[in-house]
Amino acid sequence: MPVITTVEDLRKIYQRRTPRMFYDYCESGSWTEQTFRDNVSDFSKLRLRQRVAVDMNNRSTRSTMIGEDVAMPVALAPVGLTGMQSADGEIKAAKAAEAFGVPFTLSTMSICSIEDVAEHTTRPFWMQVYTLKDDDFMRRLFDRAKAANCSAAVITVDLQLMGQRHKDVKNGLSAPPKLTPKSIANMATKVHWGLGMLGTKRRFFGNIVGHAKGVTDPSSLTTWTAEAFDQSLDWDRIRQFRAMWDGKLIIKGILDAEDAKQALNVGADAIIVSNHGGRQLDGAMSSIRMLPMIMDAVGDKIEVHLDSGIRSGQDVLKALALGAKGTYIGRAFVYGLGAMGQEGVTKALEVIHKELDLSMGLCGVQDVNALSRDNLYVPQGFEDPRVLL
Ligand code: GLV
């Protein structure tokens, strides 16, 4: 067993063990991938303020997200095709999250269905919902989430259209993978992955196949999004979805202060500042640089969460210090999953927790909820998108 000390260690193992098509799906941004890169590099422009000789005993990373107790304010983000990264991947990730005490969010585009995940977990998970045209499908999706005891719905509002990720086009991404000489040759080298996949029935989009009407090729993400997603989505339609779900609601995909103000009118419990991990509008700002402006606009009225670019506990610390009440990891947990299944997801959470806990202490902070801008040096112009850093 290799010694794993960072999320990057997990990524390297994941890359070796997972078919190219699914590794590329995870590790891509749209077009030039500028926003995908900025999400990560902008975190490194924030510096931490070291303090010494303050009591660093009894540190706690415990907090709450939308009123739920969390071992640390880091949830697992919804990631499509997680069950293609490792057999039954969503179940494995949800179990790791449950054992660790952090929320798991199931993607609409998951391989394991809502019912599958509910059957294998006891802690209520969160259900991510895309904004589709088909009203019946939407109502049933919310009803299924309710029946599965999901404690929150996460509506993704930044994917009416899908940003192009060149590698997915070139690889012919699909679930299950289409068998071509190239994909067979690559998969043949991923023995552990292949045995896992042979041992499970869950190889299709579990929430879609048999549930969505009029989709001609449900194995293709691009076909499905082009046919089923509602390009005419507006805030009234989002309010209709609010009315279909009477539980906690999180709106995911806000990157602009004006949109954040609109989200307030929907009656959500939280928003997620996000650019979809740099997978949608390439050239958009990083999430972490947009967080301060969004906090100024709505931070006193609604819980603000952040995703996109978090690869370490120090990144979590920085987002919290800038005002986020919670954060999400997507790629960071997928690396762990592809590297070593459920154990790898646990490892990713442990690495991030340790980094958060120790760095917090070295900043002279005992309670994660006490983090503030006082713990950071923020470069001038960081919160102004017109400034090139
Ligand atoms: C889906 O949400 C994706 O980013 O592929």
Please check whether residue 377 is in contact with residue 46, taking contact to mean a CB–CB distance below 8 angstroms: yes
Q: Is residue 1 part of a domain?
A: no
User: Three-state SS for 62?
Assistant: coil
Question: Could you tell me the distance, in angstroms and rounded to a whole number, from the CA of residue 27 to the centre of ligand 1?
Answer: 11
Could you tell me the CATH number of the domain that includes residue 53? 3.20.20.70
**pLDDT the model gives residue 182:** 93
Q: Is residue 69 part of a domain?
A: yes
**What domain range is 55 assigned to?**
7-377
pLDDT tens digit at each of 389 positions of the chain: 789 999 999 999 999 999 999 999 999 999 999 999 999 999 999 999 999 999 999 999 999 999 999 999 999 999 999 999 999 999 999 999 999 999 999 999 999 999 999 999 999 999 999 999 999 999 999 999 999 999 999 999 999 999 999 999 999 999 999 999 999 999 999 999 999 999 999 999 999 888 877 777 778 878 888 888 999 999 999 999 999 999 999 999 999 999 999 999 999 999 999 999 999 999 999 999 999 999 999 999 999 999 999 999 999 999 999 999 999 999 999 999 999 999 999 999 999 999 999 999 999 999 999 999 999 999 999 999 999 99
Domains identified in the chain, total number = 1
Q: Would the pTM of this model clear 0.95, i.e. be above it?
A: yes
**pLDDT the model gives residue 3:** 96
Please check whether residue 111 is in contact with residue 202, taking contact to mean a CB–CB distance below 8 angstroms: yes
Q: Is residue 389 part of a domain?
A: no
Question: Could you tell me the distance, in angstroms and rounded to a whole number, from the CA of residue 280 to the centre of ligand 1?
Answer: 8
The protein residue whose alpha carbon is closest to atom 4 in ligand 1 is: 279
**pLDDT the model gives residue 221:** 78
Q: Is 276 in the pocket of ligand 1 (CB under 6 A)?
A: yes
Q: Is residue 382 part of a domain?
A: no
- State the catalytic residue, choosing from 120, 192, 276, 353: 276
Q: Is residue 197 part of a domain?
A: yes
**pLDDT the model gives residue 82:** 98
**pLDDT the model gives residue 214:** 72
Residue 82 has which token pair? Answer: 């997680």
Q: Is residue 227 part of a domain?
A: yes
Q: Is residue 90 part of a domain?
A: yes
Question: Could you tell me the distance, in angstroms and rounded to a whole number, from the CA of residue 66 to the centre of ligand 1?
Answer: 24
211 is annotated as an active-site residue: no
Q: Is residue 2 part of a domain?
A: no
Please check whether residue 282 is in contact with residue 39, taking contact to mean a CB–CB distance below 8 angstroms: no
Which distant-in-sequence residues (6+ apart) come within 8 Å of 182 by Cβ?
none
Q: What is the DSSP letter of 77?
A: P
Residue 49 has which token pair? Answer: 């303020």
